[in-house]
Amino acid sequence: MPGASKRSRPWAAVPQPRCKDAPMRLSVDQKALIESAIRDVPDFPQPGIVFKDITTLLNDAEAFGALMGHLKARYETYGLDFVAGIDARGFIFGAALAQMLGIGFVPVRKKNKLPYTTVSEKYSLEYGFDEVEIHIDAFKDKRGARVLLIDDLIATGGTARAAASLIDKVGAECVEACFIIGLEFLEGIGKLTEITPVYTVIGVD
Ligand code: AMP
């Protein structure tokens, strides 16, 4: 394939069979370790919202290591070509994971942040709209590139649906959307599942 690096995979590749002993599931202890490293901040950014603060998780080498080791084990058999992270906390987990998997990282950014030609997607908020963008050549024009979408948290799922739609718009395939935290009492996970498989490490009900 012209311009393809030695490490690039065929675009139509299907995930390889999973290694029988791969630690796909977190142990109860690892899950508890990760969960306890996430700080709840009540009434931020407004009254009634419990903000899930992942800075305390990033600052805990053991918990962050357990999380990233688990994600690497889960995704190394997916035949991924890229990891795409959502602005801004998705960049932290996504870039680290892409590097661990030996593949490229792509940022999905809020409007007017990316310098080159972009494709954009609007989505509804409770009041008004927001917009996310991706570089038009983010996946190096490789049609059908296999992409994992990642963010720290899914709430209503609006941001993630827009991001998955951008991946599709530039000709790649979102093979799964991964979130460290899923707010299961909202409808976001269910709605996103209509367009891509969803994996959440920690579910909050
Ligand atoms: P949504 O589009 O409603 O799924 O919102 C997801 C985005 O908002 C993610 O990028 C999260 O980082 C952020 N977010 C929404 N709710 C929370 C929350 N309770 N705690 C932390 N981040 C949140």
Q: Please give the positions annotated as active site.
A: 89, 126
The domain tally of the chain equals: 1
Answer whether residue 114 is part of any domain.
yes
Closest CA to ligand 1's atom 5: 155
Residue 12 CA to ligand 1 center (angstroms) comes to: 33
Residue 42 CA to ligand 1 center (angstroms) comes to: 14
Is pTM beyond 0.85? Reply is: yes
Q: What is the pLDDT of residue 11?
A: 41
Pocket of ligand 1 (CB under 6 A): 49-52, 86, 89, 151-160, 188
User: In a mutational test of the pocket of ligand 1, which residue from 150, 153, 204 has the highest number of ligand atoms less than 8 Å from its CB?
Assistant: 153
Q: What is the pLDDT of residue 126?
A: 74
Q: What is the pLDDT of residue 13?
A: 43
The residue range of the domain holding 199 is 79-204
Answer whether residue 92 is part of any domain.
yes
> Per-residue b/e over 143-179, b at no fewer than 16 CB within 10 Å?
eebbbbbbbbbbbbbbbbbbbbbbbeebebbbbbbbb
Q: What is the pLDDT of residue 171?
A: 96
How far, rounded to the nearest angstrom, does the alpha carbon of residue 138 sit from its chain's CA centroid? 15
Answer whether residue 36 is part of any domain.
no
Answer whether residue 105 is part of any domain.
yes
The CATH code of the domain that includes 176 is 3.40.50.2020
Q: Which residues of the chain have pLDDT under 70?
A: 1-24
Q: What is the pLDDT of residue 12?
A: 41
Answer whether residue 165 is part of any domain.
yes
Q: What is the pLDDT of residue 31?
A: 97
46-69 pLDDT, tens digit per residue, is 999 999 999 999 999 999 999 999
